Amino acid sequence: EVQLVESGGVVVQPGGSLRLSCAASGFTFDDYTMHWVRQAPGKGLEWVSLISWDGGSTYYADSVKGRFTISRDNSKNSLYLQMNSLRTEDTALYYCAKDDGYSYGWGIDYWGQGTLVTVSS
Amino acid sequence: DIQMTQSPSSLSASVGDRVTITCRASQSISSYLNWYQQKPGKAPKLLIYAASSLQSGVPSRFSGSGSGTDFTLTISSLQPEDFATYYCQQSYRTITFGQGTRLEIK
């Protein structure tokens, strides 16, 4: 059974930093692209970033480019999101998600339960 | 960036109804289009990938069509468990989600 368990969400002040982690199990982690997707309270889904199976390619939404860094450690079956220069508009539930590997481009077939990041003074 | 616009933003329907949700891309995305269902307090669920392919385990009352800029998600006969929010998602250039369509019980 595929499991994705996020951690690291807390309340942080504007301008602060935070690192989210995601522990993956139930599939061959280093075979798949992985994603971070966020959802502000009561709002829609916003894709944040993706990283290829080997970490060689990364992409970011314009809203986080230059502030967030995605990374992975395949030896630990773990995905990370380093978040710097946080803004109030970064407040959201952050989902770790697994690429399905068969959509045209990218698609997501498994999601974690999410970890809540609140940026507030 | 490619913008995805869904219509309607919300929809009221009854059990047994046929429902269609539309998603329009700001430029051609071929068939790089997926559909998701999200229920309150839950993570999204992949329904349709590559515009018209049904994800494993998803009931056949769900179907997708379209290519280029215009896409539709159709539910042929609404069931009580289908009341949820639906999102389209393009991956022609990175990833963008539509704003969502909330499907409510009439």
The three-class DSSP label of residue A117 is strand
C-beta atoms of A44 and B97 within 8 A: yes
Distance from the Cα of B42 to chain A's closest Cα (Å) equals: 7
The three-class DSSP label of residue A53 is coil
Distances (CA, A) of B62 to B65, B72, B73, B76, B92: 11, 11, 7, 7, 23
User: Is the CB of A72 inside 8 Å of chain B's CB atoms?
Assistant: no
Chain A interface mutation, best of B10, B21, B49, highest count of A Cβ atoms under 10 Å: B49
Phi first, then psi, for residue A55 (nearest 5°) are: 80, 0
Alpha-carbon distance of A4 to A113, in angstroms, equals 8
> pLDDT at position A103, please?
83
Chain B interface mutation, best of A45, A57, A111, highest count of B Cβ atoms under 10 Å: A45
Torsion of CA A103, B63, A4, A63, to 10 degrees: 70
> What's the token pair of residue B87?
């999102």
Per-residue pLDDT of chain A (121 residues; tens, 9 = 90+): 999 999 999 999 999 999 999 999 999 999 999 999 999 999 999 999 999 999 999 999 999 999 999 999 999 999 999 999 999 999 999 999 999 988 888 999 999 999 999 999 9
- pLDDT tens for B49-71 read 999 999 999 999 999 999 999 99
Nearest CA in chain A to B47: A109
C-beta atoms of A95 and B46 within 8 A: no
Q: What angle do CA A56, A59, A65 make, to 5 degrees?
A: 125
Alpha-carbon distance of A109 to A98, in angstroms, equals 6
Contact between A47 and A61 under an 8 Å Cβ cutoff? The reply is yes
- pLDDT tens for B23-43 read 999 999 999 999 999 999 999
User: Is the CB of A16 inside 8 Å of chain B's CB atoms?
Assistant: no
- pLDDT tens for A52-75 read 999 999 999 999 999 999 999 999
Phi first, then psi, for residue A104 (nearest 5°) are: -65, 130
Distances (CA, A) of A46 to A40, B12, B82, B98: 8, 25, 22, 9
> What's the token pair of residue A72?
């992975």
B-chain CB neighbours of A107 within 8 Å are 34, 46, 49, 89, 91
A-chain CB neighbours of B96 within 8 Å are 47
Distance from the Cα of A6 to chain B's closest Cα (Å) equals: 13
